[in-house]
Amino acid sequence: MPRDGHIHFTKILVCCLAMFAAQAGAADPTYDLYIANARVVVGDGKVLERASVGIVDDRITWVGPDEGGSGNAEVLINGEGKTVIPGLMDAHVHILSSDHLADEDSLNAYMSLIVPHWLEGMLLHGVTTIRTLGVPIRESRDVKRGIEAGAIQGPRVLTSGPGLTSPQGHPAATMFGQYPDLQRRFARVASNEAEARAAIVEVIEAGMDSPLKVIFEGGEPGGEPYSILGTPALRLPRELLKAAVDEAHSRDYRISVHTHTYEDALIAVQMGVDGLEHGVVSEPLPDDRLLEAMLERDIFLVSTLRLLEATNQLDDLPVAAANLKALHEGGVRVVAGSDTPGGWTVPGLNTIYELRLLVKAGLAPSEAIRAATYNAAVALEIEGDLGRVRKGLLADILVLSGNPLEDISVLHYPRYVIKGGEVVRGFE
């Protein structure tokens, strides 16, 4: 064979070998973790009955039919008979509980002795993201930094910081009326529009997370008496709520408002808020005005049924559940929140109980899961990273035995809890 023909043949051979190698590499990619042939509940309503999930570093890089990547995976999970769902989110918790606090010393002790264990318990039960409300700015920063640095094992934490209320409102007067030092840390009070705006600016500039919280529950001066936790309480004037909402929106922040009555919820929505915490708890919905206003502005509802059950508010529970069902069926986005106070019961279980109560209220199990995954992510403005089992998103995933779409109680027993691609709980 002439030399130039030999060179030509060699080039062809090298190209073919390179092509075969590339094809082999494409057909057999490398993953840090691979879940093979599971049911995948994406989180946004889609279900893949037999699919695999590949993870590299902290991101999902494959969701779909098995592509042979299991052979090169550092960690392989057999998904046969199992269900993969996004990590759960609880959009309304309190990492600090006023029941255990009286002064700065008790606050510091609580932060060092109770909070880390409470957060770890949340994560091990499959709650990979929480939003905590009504927490002082310093403690909010400490918890977030501890989680991010790995000093605390726990879920991802978003914190709204201290909530805005009236000087005679909840929780300033109801929970912390006897503890003025703590009152100034846990709440921001406003008596005029300038103070309301300043409180919002302070919390935003301190780096707290959207949506911020405003408390809009209580009586009005000269009106019918209204008590919260046995203490007379006055509601923040509506013009102050409007000022707070306008200030937050001007800085691209959302406001979600604590309400209990129909009047409070309707006024809050009319003032331009972005979400309701609790919603209407103490009375049936009398008409469709609230539903229509929430739909018009795409306002979400954070559920919090579990607190009513756990604190034996059994007269309010069926009312709140019926109202939630009506708003959900009307098209309102329901977001799961347990209102769990820090140090109270077994952390993480209340989130699962909340989902069970949503199902009992009339949501399908798939809708309850969506409330604690994609819906929560949208409300918290993190849907670009979390809330679904989707290529490119952060790998916060639960692997469950059985099918939670048929039995929501399957959530009680996560076989694997994965946060950011790392298995934090796992057993076969």
CB hemisphere CA count around 299 (13 angstroms): 27
In the chain, domain spans: 31-85+409-426, 88-386
At residue 180, the pLDDT reads: 87
What is 31-85+409-426's CATH superfamily?
Urease, subunit C, domain 1 (2.30.40.10)
Question: Is 414 within 8 Å of 86 (Cβ atoms)?
Answer: no
Q: For 329-353, what is the mean pLDDT?
A: 89
pLDDT tens for each residue of 231-262: 999 999 999 999 999 999 999 999 999 999 99
CATH class belonging to 88-386: alpha beta
Backbone torsions φ then ψ of 80, nearest 5 degrees = -55, 125
DSSP reduced 3-state for 127: strand
What is the rounded radius of gyration, in angstroms, for the C-alpha atoms of the chain? 25
What CA–CA distance (Å, rounded) separates 136 from 353?
A: 27
Band of the pLDDT at 342, cuts 50, 70, 90? low
Band of the pLDDT at 10, cuts 50, 70, 90? very low
What CA–CA distance (Å, rounded) separates 111 from 182?
A: 14
Mean residue pLDDT of the chain comes to 91
At residue 23, the pLDDT reads: 43
Which one-letter amino acid corresponds to residue 425?
Answer: R
At residue 404, the pLDDT reads: 98
CA pseudo-torsion sign 232, 237, 241, 244:
negative
At residue 69, the pLDDT reads: 65
β-pair type (33-41, 82-86):
parallel
At residue 343, the pLDDT reads: 62
Question: Is 389 within 8 Å of 42 (Cβ atoms)?
Answer: yes
The H-or-E segment that residue 131 falls in is: strand 127-132
Total Cβ atoms within 10 A of residue 45: 12
pLDDT tens for each residue of 55-68: 999 999 999 998 76
- Between 104 and 407, the more confident residue is 407
Instruction: Report H helices in 128-192.
Output: 137-149, 180-186
DSSP reduced 3-state for 372: coil
pLDDT tens for each residue of 169-223: 999 999 998 888 889 999 999 999 999 999 999 999 999 999 999 999 999 998 9
